[in-house]
Amino acid sequence: MLLDTDVLIDVALDRQPYSEPASELLDRIERGNKRAFIAWRTVSNFYYLVASSSGGSSARDFLVELTGFVSVAVTDTEAVRFAAALPMSDFEDALQIAAAQACGARHIVTRNVKDYMRSPIPAITPQEALSELF
C-alpha cells in the first residue's frame, strides 16, 4: 500500500476524527508483515506542513521513525511521464498514483478517496485498510 500524505499529517498533528484510524493503521504496519510505502514528494510536503505547526525537529523525528517501517517508493522519469498521462485534474495526486504504481502498491490509503476516483490503483481510507488488509 502507498500512504498518502494526508494520512501521515492526520497522525502527526492529531487531526480528529481522522487520526485514530490512521494511527492504528501505522501501528499495525509497524507490528505486522504488510509492506507500506510513501512517495518521495510526501517527505518534503509532510515536513513543511507539519514543521509549521509543530516544529522542524518534531517533523524530522516523525519521518525518521516512520522510515523505520515504511519505505520510500523509488520513482524515475518514466513515473513522471506516467503521471502526466493519467486522467487526473490534480497533478500531485497523479504523482502519488505513479509512486504507487512504481512500488507495486495494490492500494493508495488516503482520507481523500474521491480525489482518486479515476486512479488505476484503488484508493481506500485508513479505516477500510484496517478492515480489508489486516
Q: What pLDDT score was predicted for residue 124? A: 98
pLDDT digits (tens, 9 = 90+) for 80-121: 999 999 999 999 999 999 999 999 999 999 999 999 999 999
Q: What is the pLDDT of residues 12-47, one digit of tens each?
A: 999 999 999 999 999 999 998 899 999 999 999 999
Flag whether pLDDT at 126 surpasses 90.
yes
- Name the average pLDDT for the chain: 96
Secondary structure of 43-90 as H, E, C letters: HHHHHHHHHHHHCHHHHHHHHHHHCCCCEECCCCHHHHHHHHHCCCCC
pTM reported for the whole predicted model: 0.95
Other CB atoms within a 10 A radius of the CB of residue 128 amount to 16
